[in-house]
């Protein structure tokens, strides 16, 4: 059985692109309903979403989880992985537009290649492939060659399909990483323990058009990124130097973008 986990953050269930994509498929097919399970983890930090989302999810006979706070991606993933029975788990963001054949192609992929414990889709944003990609420490580079060797590969969370045996081998997600770099950290752990992955035939379109880029939201996001980056860099020799250099790069970039020096304050904020 494949458990599809959709994580929401300050968004309604019915307005999620991911949910819309899944419901469109389910409304036109009953072939796979016994092979899948859908769980919504509501990571919203605004009270207005809890009751509404719980009702909307329940009306569709999916399972709803909320701890009535944003506990971060890693903890949300671990909460579900630790409490549910499944063979495979497919992680999904709230803003993923799934190809119409996404669910049957996922089932087909894990059935035909059940010994390979990680399956990833092609993910597009602005008509460019953003996942899978090439990862070297902190540098992520897109590739025109989809078949990236596993020793160089990374993939984003959304659409990633993982066998439960993986977590018995490498452990759960690092809960000291709240949001950013959760996917790359997982992939590095996977690469250290497994020798192959499958690139599935299905695809996802990510929509970043509604991401807010105000000075205030950018500062808050970079503050989270700073903590996640510091934890992630512990994996590498000279990791603290990588951390400082990349953080400085991000700070300078945001200062220029917003025409301010306020982001320099992040050097002195825990």
Q: Which residues pair with 64 in a beta bridge?
A: 40
Cα separation, 190 vs 131, in Å, equals 16
What's the whole-number average pLDDT of the chain?
94
Label residue 185 by pLDDT band (50, 70, 90): very high
Report pLDDT for 198. 97
**E-strand stretches of the chain:** 2-8, 36-42, 63-66, 88-92, 96-98, 118-125, 128-131, 133-136, 139-141, 153-154, 161-163, 198-206
Percent of the chain with pLDDT over 90: 87
pLDDT tens for each residue of 57-109: 999 999 999 999 999 999 999 999 999 999 999 999 999 999 999 999 999 99
Q: What percent of the chain has pLDDT over 70?
A: 97
Whose CA is closest to 39, among 15, 22, 17? 22
Compute the average pLDDT of residues 239-258: 95
pLDDT score recorded for residue 68: 96
Residue 127 above 90 pLDDT?
no
Q: Show the tokens assigned to 146.
A: 């989809």
Q: What one-character DSSP code corresponds to residue 8?
A: E
pLDDT, tens only, 140-156: 998 877 789 999 999 99
Question: Average pLDDT of 163-190?
Answer: 97
User: Could you write out the DSSP letters of every residue in 189-222?
Assistant: HHHTT-S--EEEEEEEEE--TT----HHHHHHHH
Backbone angles phi, psi at 10, to 5 degrees: 45, 45
Amino acid 212: pLDDT = 58
The alpha carbon of 58 is separated from its chain's Cα centroid by a whole number of angstroms, namely 24
Q: What is the pLDDT of residue 172?
A: 98
Residues 9-28, mean pLDDT to the nearest whole number: 95
Q: What pLDDT score does 42 carry? A: 98
pLDDT of residue 89: 98
Check: CB of residue 60 under 8 Å from CB of residue 137: no
pTM of the model: 0.94
């Amino acid at each position: 059985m494949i458990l599809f986990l959709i994580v929401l953050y300050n968004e309604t269930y019915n307005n999620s692109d991911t949910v819309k994509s899944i419901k469109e498929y389910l409304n036109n097919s009953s072939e796979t309903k016994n092979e899948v399970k859908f769980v919504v983890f509501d990571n919203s930090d605004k009270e207005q979403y809890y009751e509404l989302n719980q009702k909307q999810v329940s009306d569709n006979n999916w399972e709803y989880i909320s701890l009535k706070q944003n506990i971060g991606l890693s903890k949300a993933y671990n909460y579900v992985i630790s409490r549910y029975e499944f063979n495979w788990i497919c992680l999904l963001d709230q803003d993923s537009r799934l190809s119409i054949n996404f669910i049957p192609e996922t089932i087909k992929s894990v059935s035909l290649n059940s010994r390979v414990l990680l399956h990833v889709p092609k993910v597009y944003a602005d008509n460019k492939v953003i996942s899978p990609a090439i990862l070297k420490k902190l540098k992520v580079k897109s590739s025109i060659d989809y078949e990236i060797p596993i020793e160089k590969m990374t993939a984003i969370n959304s659409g990633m399909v993982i066998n439960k045996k993986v977590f018995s081998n490498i452990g759960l997600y690092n809960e000291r990483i709240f949001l950013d770099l959760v996917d790359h950290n997982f992939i590095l752990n996977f690469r250290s323990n497994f020798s192959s992955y499958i690139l599935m035939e299905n695809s996802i379109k990510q929509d970043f058009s509604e991401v807010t880029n105000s000075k205030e939201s950018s500062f808050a996001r970079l503050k989270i990124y700073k903590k996640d980056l510091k934890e992630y860099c512990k994996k590498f020799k000279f990791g603290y130097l990588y951390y400082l250099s990349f953080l400085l790069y991000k700070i300078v970039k945001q200062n220029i973008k917003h025409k301010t020096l306020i982001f320099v304050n992040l050097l002195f904020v825990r």
